[in-house]
Amino acid sequence: MNAVAVPELHTERLLLRGWRGEDRAPFARLNADPRVAEFLSAPLDRPESDAFVDRIVRHWADDGFGIWAVERTEDRSFLGFTGLSAPAFEARFTPAIEVGWRFAPDAWGHGYASEAARAAVRFGFEALELDEIVSFTVPANSRSRAVMERLGMIREPADDFDHPNLPEGHPIRRHVLYRLDRSAWLATSPST
Ligand SMILES: CC(C)(COP(=O)(O)OP(=O)(O)OC[C@H]1O[C@@H](n2cnc3c(N)ncnc32)[C@H](O)[C@@H]1OP(=O)(O)O)[C@@H](O)C(=O)NCCC(=O)NCCS
């Protein structure tokens, strides 16, 4: 399933790695969970979840970066994903590279998302030499916003935007944008 060699990133408790066939079932369970989908468009069924994995695998092959599967080192269980992608819509801040995350509810509240996202952001600035990484979500997604803030990302209210792929009046159309500048990250991040 891994057509390209996805770089593996190790953190204190996690392994960020390429996707395996056995990730598909737990990923589909996570995507079908209404708690996970609360601030996303809708829960995904199994074919939609599998198609999402296919797109992720293609993205690595086409672009050389993307979204990692996240595994807990201790018991090798699949927890969710984090990674880098290019938003597929036009807005004031695009073209851009976005960092994102999605974890199974059982894995919330342990700091895993922030730990994995720090490694993904480091990869973006060090290996890809990006100048900036953004992230966005709906204003009410306080858990996701807290991850952005733990990473040191900054939100300027003037950057808030309406998602261009969602119609006027859609409940999750309004988004907040967070930015992390390379120089700000270098100034605060310990070197390895
Ligand atoms: C967004 C999401 C990944 C955040 O998960 P999370 O578990 O809240 O985030 P973290 O992994 O950073 O964990 C932080 C929490 O773990 C706690 N924690 C416990 N042990 C910890 C440790 N060793 N280190 C750090 N934090 C720890 C923190 O205190 C914090 O708790 P709090 O929420 O009570 O303040 C998760 O809610 C999710 O997958 N949501 C659904 C998908 C989604 O909305 N994705 C984003 C779309 S924009």
State the pLDDT at residue 187: 87
Parallel/antiparallel/unpaired status of strands 161-162 and 67-72: unpaired
- The first and second tokens of residue 67, run together, are 């979204």
Nearest CA to ligand 1 atom 41: 36
CB 99 within 8 A of CB 82: yes
Q: Which residues contact 84 (CB under 8 A, 6 or more apart)?
A: 65, 66, 67, 97, 98, 99, 120, 123, 124, 128, 133
Nearest CA to ligand 1 atom 33: 109
Tell me, in angstroms, the distance from the centre of ligand 1 to residue 63's CA. 28
Q: What is the spatial distance between Cα 102 and Cα 77, in angstroms, rounded to a whole number?
A: 15
Residue 181: band (very low, low, confident or very high) from pLDDT cuts 50, 70, 90:
very high
Give the residue carrying structure tokens 């060699």: 5
Tell me, in angstroms, the distance from the centre of ligand 1 to residue 108's CA. 5
For residue 188, pLDDT over 90 is answered with no
Helix (H, G, I), strand (E, B) or coil at 190: coil
pLDDT tens per residue, range 40-79: 989 999 999 999 999 999 999 999 999 999 999 999 999 9
Tell me, in angstroms, the distance from the centre of ligand 1 to residue 62's CA. 30
Question: Is 145 a pocket residue for ligand 1 (Cβ < 6 Å)?
Answer: no
Structural domains present in the chain: 9-188 (3.40.630.30)
Question: Is 172 a pocket residue for ligand 1 (Cβ < 6 Å)?
Answer: no
pLDDT tens per residue, range 69-107: 999 999 999 999 999 999 999 999 999 999 999 999 999
Helix (H, G, I), strand (E, B) or coil at 75: coil
By C-alpha distance, which of 67, 65, 47, 48 is closest to 56?
67
- Note the pTM of the prediction, 2 decimals: 0.96
Nearest 5°: the CA angle 17, 18, 23 is 95
Q: What is the residue-averaged pLDDT of the chain?
A: 95
Question: Is 108 a pocket residue for ligand 1 (Cβ < 6 Å)?
Answer: yes
Question: Is 116 a pocket residue for ligand 1 (Cβ < 6 Å)?
Answer: no
Q: Over pLDDT 90: what percentage of the chain?
A: 90
State the pLDDT at residue 1: 53
Q: Residue 180 carries which DSSP code?
A: E
